């Protein structure tokens, strides 16, 4: 009996010794420390500087977003150029994977934005006034549209109808606001901002008291309401919990923004549905072809306007558009699209990515500056026209400053600063390779052309357009400070991770063959 007890004691002693050793090395009950492959130093080790390396994780879709798997496609016109614009020559480009809103931004979403502005900037009514959509866009000289002027934006019946009358500049500001509110909530949940931070912010905090993502990253001390979580994997050099989050920690979301023209057009086609055998999980191959080139965005009958499947919806229009002069919705008792004006954002047939109303309902702002002749010599990866490179402004004391909205001030980079670069040599490259050697003369707004550096591309047809404009390849433009009853917008967000999405690996990974391994005979 005594031998048995002695044996158990010995066994427990051995287990305890192993556990203690393992804990010291980060195993078993402790967290195993990573190690640098170039120096051999431990990560997250206070005896070695406590350099923190976040666990590799890929961003999930934020509120309202849908993942779009990127790829190559032919961007440009898919139909005959009946308008004679010659403004969209087909060309092959590659679009990296990204996120985009499932629907257009609705009235209720934009009113939420205005509500935040009204309460946070209660002492500056001009800020709220500048953000208001132009409801007068509904007026026509020979039409009675006053009910839409008064009620479309604010009445509950239209809560989930797309917001219209919003300029490109207003849509741009909305994207920044949305980024800040999503990241503010992330930091509150993680304990890096006080739980009542948002409440205090909306009691007239103004520019100095509002949260802004870029301000937080560049100088956290400028942000009010910060706190330190009791428990955190993020440690300072002394091994104590950090009070701030860095970009490399992977906690903050990528910024919301307007999609580029290439992204919008690619997402609209939803070409994933035209692949006969797409890869659906790791370890399986997919076909590298499209079985059909489609004209419209929906995944069923992509080259027709009606649902061709047998059933109660057979023959129904797949989008909200104008069939002909004076025919916005058909005849009573058999309305064809059941929408005289924009319809709810989550109606009509979605495309293969699950996106609604990429053809019809309202046209949408995209990020690009408009040029009629898009050069085939332009970038074939992630194409975008509209770059104007800037940097953060610092005053004479070397400190950052915030503007009236609480964002960090920026200034244009001078050409002198970039003259020795090989990838770009000007801060403003809006006119780069636009097909005109004297762009500033040719694009003199109101003198020789209606096109300027403030002309922005709008994509997709609207409730008041004929079918020709429903093709994602069609493009038009408006000045960035204008709005219309036919134009809305949706947001996008860059994706950082494997191009096929979460759950997949990045790059082709082959089995590693050992050196000097003899082949089997």
Q: What is the mean pLDDT of residues 496-510?
A: 83
Task: Give the pLDDT confidence score for residue 25 in this predicted structure.
Answer: 46
Q: What is the mean pLDDT of residues 77-85?
A: 75
Residue 191 scores a pLDDT above 70: yes
Task: Give the pLDDT confidence score for residue 95 in this predicted structure.
Answer: 97
342/196 same-domain check: yes
How many domains in the chain?
2
339/196 same-domain check: yes
26/160 same-domain check: no
Scan for tokens 């770059």, then name that residue.
387
What is the spatial distance between Cα 271 and Cα 293, in angstroms, rounded to a whole number?
8
What proportion of the chain, given as a percentage, has pLDDT over 90?
Answer: 55
Q: Is residue 100 one of the residues assigned to a domain?
A: yes
Q: Which residues pair with 515 in a beta bridge?
A: none
The residue that leads in pLDDT, 431 or 368, is 368
At 515, the pLDDT band (50, 70, 90 cuts) reads: low
What is the spatial distance between Cα 186 and Cα 179, in angstroms, rounded to a whole number?
11
Tens-digit pLDDT profile for residues 100-125 = 999 999 999 999 999 999 999 999 99
Q: Is residue 189 one of the residues assigned to a domain?
A: yes
Structural domain including 72 reads 65-386+430-494
182-191, 292-301, 412-421, range with the lowest pLDDT: 292-301
Residue 18 scores a pLDDT above 70: no
What are the E-state strand segments in 296-369?
363-369
Return mean pLDDT, the chain.
86
CB neighbours (10 Å) of residue 497? 17
Q: What is the mean pLDDT of residues 26-46?
A: 75
Give the contacts of 202 (CB within 8 A, at least 6 positions apart): 116, 119, 120
Query: CA-CA distances (angstroms) from residue 120 to 170, 196, 208, 353, 401?
Result: 18, 14, 10, 36, 19
Shortest CA distance to 67 belongs to which of 98, 94, 104, 102? 98
235/374 same-domain check: yes
Tell me the DSSP string of 40-97: -PBTT-GGGT----PPP--PPP-TTEEEE--EEEEES--S--TT-------EEEEE--
Shortest CA distance to 500 belongs to which of 251, 275, 298, 292? 275
> How would you label 392-412 residue by residue, b for 16+ Cβ within 10 Å and e otherwise?
eeeeeeeeeebeebbbbeeee
State phi, psi for 469 to the nearest 5 degrees. -85, -5
Q: Is residue 423 one of the residues assigned to a domain?
A: no
Q: Is residue 301 one of the residues assigned to a domain?
A: yes
Task: State the maximum Cα–Cα separation within the chain, in Å, rounded to a whole number.
Answer: 106
What are the E-state strand segments in 385-509?
390-392, 410-412, 455-459, 475-479, 487-488, 492-494
Residue 449 scores a pLDDT above 60: yes
Tens-digit pLDDT profile for residues 240-250 = 888 899 998 98
112/161 same-domain check: yes
12/142 same-domain check: no
69/27 same-domain check: no
What is the spatial distance between Cα 36 and Cα 60, in angstroms, rounded to a whole number?
27
Task: Give the pLDDT confidence score for residue 385 in this predicted structure.
Answer: 92
19-28, 56-65, 138-147, 342-351, range with the lowest pLDDT: 19-28
Pairing, β 363-369 against β 487-488: parallel
Q: Is residue 46 one of the residues assigned to a domain?
A: no
What is the spatial distance between Cα 279 and Cα 285, in angstroms, rounded to a whole number?
5
The residue that leads in pLDDT, 499 or 434, is 499
CATH of the domain at 87: 3.90.1580.10
Q: Is residue 399 one of the residues assigned to a domain?
A: no
Task: Give the pLDDT confidence score for residue 439 in this predicted structure.
Answer: 45
Residue 22 scores a pLDDT above 50: no
Query: CA-CA distances (angstroms) from residue 28 to 22, 34, 45?
Result: 6, 15, 17
What is the spatial distance between Cα 360 and Cα 337, in angstroms, rounded to a whole number?
11
Residue 203 scores a pLDDT above 90: yes
Dig out the tokens for 120 from the structure.
């946070």
Q: What is the mean pLDDT of residues 278-306?
A: 77
Task: Give the pLDDT confidence score for residue 440 in this predicted structure.
Answer: 46
213/331 same-domain check: yes
Shortest CA distance to 112 belongs to which of 174, 184, 195, 173? 174
255/372 same-domain check: yes
Task: Give the pLDDT confidence score for residue 264 in this predicted structure.
Answer: 98
Residue 51 scores a pLDDT above 80: yes
20/151 same-domain check: no
3-class DSSP state of 257: strand
Residue 405 scores a pLDDT above 60: yes
C-alpha of 88 from chain center: 24
Pair 317, 328: CB distance under 8 Å: no
Most confident of 54-58, 211-215, 270-274, 384-388: 211-215
128/189 same-domain check: yes
Tens-digit pLDDT profile for residues 136-154 = 999 999 999 999 999 999 9
Residue 255 scores a pLDDT above 90: yes
Tens-digit pLDDT profile for residues 350-387 = 999 999 999 999 999 999 999 886 666 678 999 999 99
Give the contacts of 492 (CB within 8 A, at least 6 positions apart): 98, 99, 100, 101, 256, 257, 258, 259, 260, 263, 264
3-state secondary structure 362-418: CEEEEEEECCCCCCCCCCCECCCCCCECEEECECCCCCECECCCCCECEEECCHHHH
What is the spatial distance between Cα 369 and Cα 454, in angstroms, rounded to a whole number?
7
CB neighbours (10 Å) of residue 493? 25
Q: What is the mean pLDDT of residues 1-23?
A: 53
Shortest CA distance to 160 belongs to which of 361, 388, 385, 443? 361
Shortest CA distance to 493 belongs to which of 66, 133, 154? 66
83/18 same-domain check: no
Residue 222 scores a pLDDT above 90: yes
């Amino acid at each position: 009996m005594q031998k048995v007890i002695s044996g158990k004691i010995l066994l427990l002693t051995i287990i305890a010794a192993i556990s203690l050793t393992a804990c010291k090395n980060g195993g078993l009950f402790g967290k195993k420390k990573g190690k640098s492959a170039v120096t051999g130093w431990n990560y997250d080790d206070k005896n070695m500087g406590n350099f923190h390396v976040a666990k590799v994780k890929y961003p999930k879709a934020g509120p309202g977003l849908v993942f779009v798997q990127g790829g190559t496609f032919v961007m440009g016109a898919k139909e005959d150029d009946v308008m004679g614009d010659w403004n969209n020559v087909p060309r092959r480009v590659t679009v990296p994977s990204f996120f985009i809103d499932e629907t257009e931004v609705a009235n209720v979403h934009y009113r939420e934005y205005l509500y935040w502005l009204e309460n946070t900037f209660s002492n500056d009514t001009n800020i709220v006034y500048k953000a208001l959509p132009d409801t007068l866009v509904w007026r026509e000289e020979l039409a009675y549209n006053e009910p839409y002027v008064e009620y479309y934006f604010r009445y509950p019946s239209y809560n989930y109808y797309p917001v219209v009358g919003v300029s490109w500049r207003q849509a741009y500001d909305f994207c920044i606001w949305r980024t800040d509110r999503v990241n503010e909530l992330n930091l509150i949940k993680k304990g890096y901002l006080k739980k009542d931070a948002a409440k205090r912010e909306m009691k007239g905090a103004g520019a100095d008291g509002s949260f802004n993502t870029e301000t937080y990253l560049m100088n956290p001390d400028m942000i009010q309401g910060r706190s330190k979580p009791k428990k955190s994997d993020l440690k300072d050099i002394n091994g104590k919990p950090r009070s701030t989050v860095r970009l490399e920690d992977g906690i903050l979301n990528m910024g919301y923004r307007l999609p580029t023209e290439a992204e919008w057009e690619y997402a609209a086609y939803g070409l994933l549905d035209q692949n006969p055998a797409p890869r659906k999980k790791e370890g399986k191959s997919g076909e590298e072809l499209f079985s059909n080139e489609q004209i419209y965005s929906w995944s069923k009958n992509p080259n027709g306007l009606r649902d061709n499947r047998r059933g109660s919806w057979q023959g129904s229009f797949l989008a909200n558009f104008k069939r002909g002069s004076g025919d916005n919705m058909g005849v009573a008792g058999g309305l064809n699209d059941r929408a005289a004006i924009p319809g709810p954002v989550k109606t009509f047939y979605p495309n293969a990515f699950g996106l609604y109303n990429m053809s019809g309902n309202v046209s949408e702002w995209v990020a690009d500056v408009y040029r009629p002749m898009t050069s085939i010599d332009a970038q074939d990866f992630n194409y975008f026209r509209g770059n104007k490179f800037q940097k953060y402004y610092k005053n004479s004391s070397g400190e950052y400053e915030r503007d009236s909205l609480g964002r960090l001030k920026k200034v244009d980079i001078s050409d002198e600063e970039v003259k020795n670069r090989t990838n770009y040599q000007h801060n403003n490259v809006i006119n780069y390779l636009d097909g005109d050697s004297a762009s500033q003369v040719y694009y003199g707004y109101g003198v020789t052309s209606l096109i300027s550096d403030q002309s922005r591309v709008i994509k997709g047809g609207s409730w008041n357009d004929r079918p020709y404009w429903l093709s994602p390849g069609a493009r038009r433009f408006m000045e960035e400070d204008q709005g219309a009853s036919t134009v809305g917008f949706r947001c996008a967000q860059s994706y950082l991770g494997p191009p096929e999405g979460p759950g997949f690996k990045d790059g082709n990974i082959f089995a590693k063959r050992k050196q000097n391994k003899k082949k089997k005979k």
